[in-house]
Structure 1
Amino acid sequence: MAEGSEPHPDPTRRPHLGMHAGELDGKWYAKYWSPVMAPLPEHIKEAIGLGPQAPPLCLSPDNAGTLSDVGYQELENGYSLFDDGSMHVATLTCMPRVSPAMVDWWFWWHATEAQRYKLWYPRAHLYAEWSAGATDQSAPYRDRYIGGTSFVDEYVGSALGKLAVRFVHPGRLGFTDDSLDPDAATAICATVGLSRVPLDWGHLVHHVRRVKGGAEIRSRFWMGGKYVAPRAGASLTGELETVAEGLRHLGDGHARAMVVHCSQEMNHLAAFLPDIFDEFRRSE
């Protein structure tokens, strides 16, 4: 997909939560479907209980590349709300036996079928459709999703979002190639917009680095407020301006729901990613 072009999801899609009878028939990965999810980690419960944190503690998108630095930042778990209506969300997830390369593989592999997307978060993911990205199946995993768009339908809390997640090169957010050796680290970077209308409303980074026994993924989201912008030459007039205004002030409830959503989906992924990746590699 060319920069600035307007992707189009399938308008006939009929997403549903969970798996219907027969939906996984013939899928080699069917055994990895598990609707039973682990409890929310204690450090996430504590972060939510603290409420919104002081904005100066938050990482800005302009400094996202500092996630490659050694150590941790002041806000690794929790959220903050800004005067312009935007929010910042941060979560850290430990992923035993996982490598950065496995996460790069997942962000390419999961997006091509709704059933694969549902494996990730059975309680919230409904649908996924892939547009563009690399077609060369021999390319490095990271190169297979950069430049592509994943159209997804998912719940964040009780709110249903129909989203377009456009993956960009990590260099766009300040990461250097030297800091992202696939054996040691990766950074999945994307612009998040709506799939049905040409409107973006945020950015995300999932920075993954090796630690003893596996990896940890440090996720960051910047949503709403000043991040709401028209896409593909659209103008903020009429109905589009009305939609934009609704996204500019997301509020405390949405921020809390984002913390929970990200933590639950990444912890659930960590439970099966090493095994599904190994099985995929053996079949290549």
Structure 2
Amino acid sequence: MADAVEPRADPGRRPHIGMQAGELDGKWYAKYWNPVMAPLPEHVREALALGPQAPLLCLDFDAAGTLSDTGYHDLENGYSLCDDGSLHIATLTGMPGVSPDMLDWWFWWHATETQRYKLWYPRAHVYAAWSGGPADRSALYRERYIGGTSFVDEYVGSALGELAIRFVRPSRFGFSEDSLDPDEATAVCGVVGLSRVPLDWGYLIHHVRRVKGGSEMRSRFWMGGKYVAPRGAASLTGELETAADGLRKSGAEQARAMVVHCSQEMNHLAAFLPDLFDEFTRDEGRDQP
């Protein structure tokens, strides 16, 4: 899955956490900026307290499509450390009032502007830019981000990551497209790499399905270890091999930080997404140049 990625465009200034004076001037969505985030959900705190879980409890990447099945997996919250150095991370997020289609919209809409990205996680998101789209605005929301690359800078724990996330078709990760009617379910699938170095780090999936009163998101990450690979025509020599070796050995601290990061950002998003989406759909032309 070592697709080519166009070079990242630099923002031209040092990124920062939070909104600076004037950053939201003229933005119709400014009212949704809320730097106060809710505490980590109890079920996530309990999972973190258990520490790393047995790798046999984890969903194998080759079986990722089973997220479309009914029921739950053995590990819905927490993390595991595998013998090859790879990490598996799982989080479950309840999203009252949210539909799967709203999540497809969000992954298209937020990616083109740093301020939108910061709405999502005020304590960690610092920069966003988009390459390869978005697609025709008349297309289904899912079609607007698939095939594009989101360049993002974000803190996971205390470490700043400069990432390139390439969104791919769910079928590429083993999902049946027939199981993903946007009214009932979606699967946001991405290949995660570094934005300044031609290295891929792993895969992510956010599977969203309808439940009573809204949706639930089941997030999965497979990172490090055997999932580290050169991107495009790059070869693992010299400094690139050194960088790859560091990614292969991320460890428990990184895994815990990713559980916290995913849970916090998705719970924060769920708190304002229904109202934001409703306002956008009432006047979709508001975002036109």
TM value normalised by structure 1? 0.98
**Cα RMSD (Å):** 0.8
Q: Residues 97-142 of structure 1, C-alpha deviation per residue, up to 9 Å, x if partnerless?
A: 0000000000000000000000000000000000013431100000
Number of residue equivalences = 282
Q: Cα offset for 1:13?
A: 4.6
Aligned to 2:198: 198
Q: Cα offset for 1:61?
A: 1.1
Aligned to 1:6: 5
Aligned to 1:126: 126
Aligned to 1:102: 102
Q: Kindly provide the amino acid, as one letter, of the partner of residue 69 in structure 1.
A: D
Q: Residues 66-97 of structure 1, C-alpha deviation per residue, up to 9 Å, x if partnerless?
A: 00000001000000000100000000000000
Gaps of 5+ in 2: 285-289
Question: Structure 1 residues 133, 61: closer, same or farther in 2, change over 3 A?
Answer: farther
Q: Secondary structure at the match of 1:101?
A: helix
Which ranges of 4 or more aligned residues in structure 1 deviate by more than 3 Å?
A: none
Q: Percent identity?
A: 76
Q: Distance in 2 between matches of 1:231 and 1:9?
A: 14
Q: Secondary structure at the match of 2:37?
A: coil
Question: Structure 1 residues 147, 207: closer, same or farther in 2, change over 3 A?
Answer: same
Q: Distance in 2 between matches of 1:56 and 1:163?
A: 29
Q: Secondary structure at the match of 1:137?
A: coil
Q: Secondary structure at the match of 2:206?
A: strand
Q: Cα offset for 1:161?
A: 0.1
Q: Cα offset for 1:177?
A: 1.3
Q: Distance in 2 between matches of 1:105 and 1:61?
A: 25
Aligned to 2:175: 175
Question: Structure 1 residues 24, 134: closer, same or farther in 2, change over 3 A?
Answer: closer
CA contact (8 A) 2:5 2:149 kept: no
Q: Kindly provide the amino acid, as one letter, of the partner of residue 45 in structure 2.
A: K
Q: Kindly provide the amino acid, as one letter, of the partner of residue 100 in structure 2.
A: P
Aligned to 1:250: 250
Q: Residues 153-183 of structure 1, C-alpha deviation per residue, up to 9 Å, x if partnerless?
A: 0000000000000000000111111110000
Q: Kindly provide the amino acid, as one letter, of the partner of residue 29 in structure 1.
A: Y
Alignment of 1:229-248 (within 5 A): 229-248=229-248
Q: Distance in 2 between matches of 1:153 and 1:13?
A: 13
Q: Secondary structure at the match of 2:281?
A: helix
Aligned to 1:223: 223
Q: Residues 23-56 of structure 1, C-alpha deviation per residue, up to 9 Å, x if partnerless?
A: 0000000000000000000000000000000000
Aligned to 2:65: 65
TM value normalised by structure 2? 0.96
Q: Kindly provide the amino acid, as one letter, of the partner of residue 23 in structure 1.
A: E
Alignment of 1:22-61 (within 5 A): 22-61=22-61
Aligned to 2:112: 112
Q: Secondary structure at the match of 1:43?
A: helix
Q: Distance in 2 between matches of 1:5 and 1:250?
A: 24
Q: Distance in 1 between matches of 2:178 and 2:139?
A: 19
Aligned to 2:145: 145
Q: Cα offset for 1:10?
A: 1.5
Q: Distance in 1 between matches of 2:193 and 2:63?
A: 21
